[in-house]
Chain A
Amino acid sequence: MNASRAAVLAFPGRLASFRREGWPMVPITILAVIALLAIFADVIAPHDPQVGLLGERFRPPAWQQGGSAAHLLGTDHVGRDVLSRLIFGARVSMVVGFTAVIFAGVVGTVLGILAGYLGGWVDQVIMRVTDAWLALPALTFAIFLAAIVGPSEMNIVIILGIVYWTRYARVVRGEVLSLKERDYVRLAIVAGCSKRTIMRRHILPNVVNSAIVLATLMLGVVIVTEAALSFLGVGVPPPKPAWGLMLADGKKGLMAGYWWLTVLPGVCIMLMVLSANLLGDWLRVKLDPQLRQL
């Protein structure tokens, strides 16, 4: 039985111990709620998020004067229901966030493993690119790419993947370097396993932990970046209701005091990022205390 098999078989046991220890219920609940909203948006949202009634522009939330029960959280500058847009926005954030994180994670982990395990020129090339790309601020890089290919939901995911894989690569490579020295890896080499087999069966399962922790932490970062891109107009294009886009629209009503268009989308972003960060922190401590330097 190799180490990876053992790791996988231990998982149910680990799950059980999680339940005993007490999961961080608040972030998990928040993320679960957001996920549910995203999945069932069509059913839950009271209005069509992309259709606005010009007669209903700038309605404040229901509890303020001038608000109505039809639009619990008010309407925006073209009369679209804010609540519905927030709910559909959850879908956008979740989809873009998760997809980008997974994309970056897969690419980064694979390249990190290759760089760390194979060494030599493969390592050099991958590391030089990683170092150089890490020198460029993520937002700047993303804007640059968006300016070239033009904004669309798909493009954003790819762009975010391109911008963020380097974070994974660096961490995973470090892990692989230390894993290479472990006995079971050495035994596998002596036993004559091919490089590919070793990387797949011994190295990969062991770096998955770090990758997962990093992914949760990156989720927050990615969402903020996506919001920034949308805010600047190079992210998810209108009329799709991305929270960042709502903030950009909200700015138009800011000076007039239409606070809900600015505060509410931001609160949603904050809640999602906060939950992702808390979850990531907890996972980091749980999965491997040695990962604390992340």
Chain B
Amino acid sequence: MKRFVVRRVGYALLSLVVLSATIFVFVRLTGDPSVLLVEPGASKADIDAIRADLGLDRPLLVQYAVFVKGLLKADFGRSFYYRTPVLELYLERLPNSLLLAVVAMAFSLAIGIPSGILAAVRVNGGWDRAGKIFALLGLSMPSFWVGLLLILFFSVYLGWLPSSGSGTPWHVLMPAFALGWYFAAAHMRLTRSSMLEVLGSEYIKLARLKGLPEALVIGKHAFKNALIPVLTLAGINLVLMVNVSIVVETVFAWPGVGRLLYEGISFRDFPVVQTTVILSGVMIVAVNLAVDLMYAVIDPRIRYER
């Protein structure tokens, strides 16, 4: 078990190194990173100061070391626009994105799981076909377009919901739905296939042989087993949601980290962009690691793999 943990953690760290190196390299690829890392309209003296700071005349590896050192010290630079450390800005906005993601996840599970179960239980029937269409729509309709349509409907035509900002529960509904839409389809597909697999298993056969009513067979025996892979995916998707929420947050002016990234690119505030990207990567690598380790705890077979 220990070997497994060490190995997985090692992989995760390696991924982080590769990611940081990638970001580092790409920034320098354009030739003169000081253009990016300096405020637009800065004086020559400022530019020279930054260049010295970053050590742009020193060998690449040294620059990289400086970069990594900064990351490890949690120094992600200052935002040009807000003039505060980016990390501060990020952490300030993160709870909002988390809130949005949690509500979106709730939506996606509330829609995805029941429809997936229905599709599996009535496989190839009307519900299943409807489910397939729903899955296709979920994949083909970009989330930001769904958001725009929701605004058109509920804000402009019906006037029920506010079209931007945050503050009341009403504000969260539409962005959460737009964000959760794609994932609802994904969760539905997974629930359906997981349920179909479970329904074909021997213990379900035995449950029917016991003479249990079908509702009990599905509701008690099949349900719990089918849900396991879905919930695992949901956990990973939650973190993914936080990181892909940029377009939805922009459409609804939701003050989360996605919107922060948008502001970063709008205002050419590169430290913000770079930080958001780095932290995205870190978050996802961390979650994948956590899920891998959790699986090893639950399923003893995995520990002895490879």
Chain A residues with a Cβ under 8 A of chain B: 128-129, 131-133, 135-137, 139-141, 143-149, 220, 224, 227-228, 231-234, 247, 250-251, 254-257, 259, 262-263, 266, 269-270, 273-274, 277-278
Contact = CB atoms under 8 A, between A and B. Distances in A.
Nearest to B21: A132
A232 B250 contact: yes
Contacts of B151: 254-255
B261 interface: yes
B140 A254 contact: no
Nearest 6 pairs of A and B residues by beta carbon: A132-B18, A266-B145, A274-B140, A273-B140, A132-B15, A144-B277
Given A131-B15, A143-B246, A149-B30, A273 B284 contact: no
Interface stretch (B68-76, B265-273, B295-303): B265-273
B209 to A, nearest CB: 31
Interface of B: 11, 14-16, 18-19, 22-23, 26-27, 29-30, 36, 136-137, 139-142, 144-145, 148-149, 151-152, 155-157, 163, 240, 243-244, 246-247, 250-251, 261-262, 264-266, 268, 270, 273-274, 276-277, 280-281, 284-285, 288
A136 B140 contact: no
A262 B149 contact: yes
Contacts of B270: 147
A233 B19 contact: no
5 contacts: A135-B285, A140-B276, A247-B148, A269-B142, A270-B142
Contacts of A133: 18-19, 22
Majority secondary structure, B binding face: helix
Majority secondary structure, A binding face: helix
B164 to A, nearest CB: 9
Nearest to B14: A128
B293 to A, nearest CB: 16
A143 B265 contact: yes
A140 B26 CA distance: 14
B152 A147 contact: no
Given A144-B277, A251-B148, A262-B149, A136 B284 contact: yes
Given A148-B36, A254-B148, A140 B280 contact: yes
Contact of A277 (B27, B140, B280): B140
Most chain-B Cβ atoms within 10 A of its Cβ — which of A136, A232, A266? A136
Nearest to B182: A224
Contacts of A135: 15, 19, 281, 284-285, 288
Nearest to B33: A148
A136 B11 CA distance: 15
Nearest to B276: A140
Contact of A224 (B11, B142, B277): B142
Given A262-B149, A273-B140, 5 more contacts: A131-B11, A135-B15, A136-B284, A147-B265, A277-B140
A258 B69 CA distance: 51
A231 B246 CA distance: 11
B244 A277 contact: no
Contacts of A147: 36, 264-265, 268, 270, 273
B136 A277 contact: yes
Contacts of B276: 140
B158 to A, nearest CB: 12
A129 B16 CA distance: 10
A274 B185 CA distance: 14
A256 B155 CA distance: 11
B152 A141 contact: no
